[in-house]
Copies of this chain bind each other. A is one copy, B any other.
Amino acid sequence: MEPHDAPDLSAFKLAFRRHAAGVAVVTGRTAEGVPVGFTATSLASLAAVPPLATFNMARISTAWPAVEHTDHVIIHLLGARNRALADRLSGPHDARFAGDHWVPGPHDLPLLTDVPAWMLGRIVERVRVADNAVVVVQIEDGGLGDEDAALLYHERRYLTPGELAAE
């Protein structure tokens, strides 16, 4: 079968709708001390030695000033039990840090409690592309919480991993 043609740029949206991604939350603190953060489906490993990871964001994000002007963020990997957290950190800004779902962590950054894993990242590159940015971090510390099924975002829904793909 030959792939069908879809030469207009909706190809991008249609293609990414078929892509599945793990769900993370990135948190930071602005130079003024305000906690900021957002749900990200772009977290990716870049290298293991040294430990490097990337995530993407819009520069209109309320978290951009923290990424632009401070050195560290915390990246949290979400599990199935954190579904509500994914919604909260992608919802109204005033509600993102209203509650007891976080504590001050390393560098006084917001550390979400009850996540399967988190990593402290030192920002080593900020690559501005159009109105967006690719952020490269070197992982300096981290911790593990209780295990859980990974939280996935796929076709605009939150899912968990299912069956093994047939060989």
Contacts and interface: CB of A to CB of B under 8 A. Distances in A.
Interface of A: 1-7, 9, 11-16, 18-22, 24, 41-48, 50-56, 58, 77, 79-80, 83-84, 103, 111, 113-119, 124-125, 127, 129-132, 134, 136, 139, 141-152, 154, 157-167
B165 A161 contact: no
Q: Most chain-B Cβ atoms within 10 A of its Cβ — which of A21, A83, A115, A167?
A: A21
Nearest to A46: B56
A28 B19 CA distance: 20
Contacts of A162: 159-163
A159 B159 contact: no
Ranked nearest first, the 5 interchain pairs of A and B with the lowest CB-CB distance are A162-B162, A11-B142, A42-B44, A12-B51, A3-B143
A71 B60 CA distance: 29
A3 B144 contact: yes
A125 to B, nearest CB: 6
Nearest to A51: B12
A83 B162 CA distance: 15
A15 B144 contact: yes
Nearest to A114: B1
A145 B24 contact: no
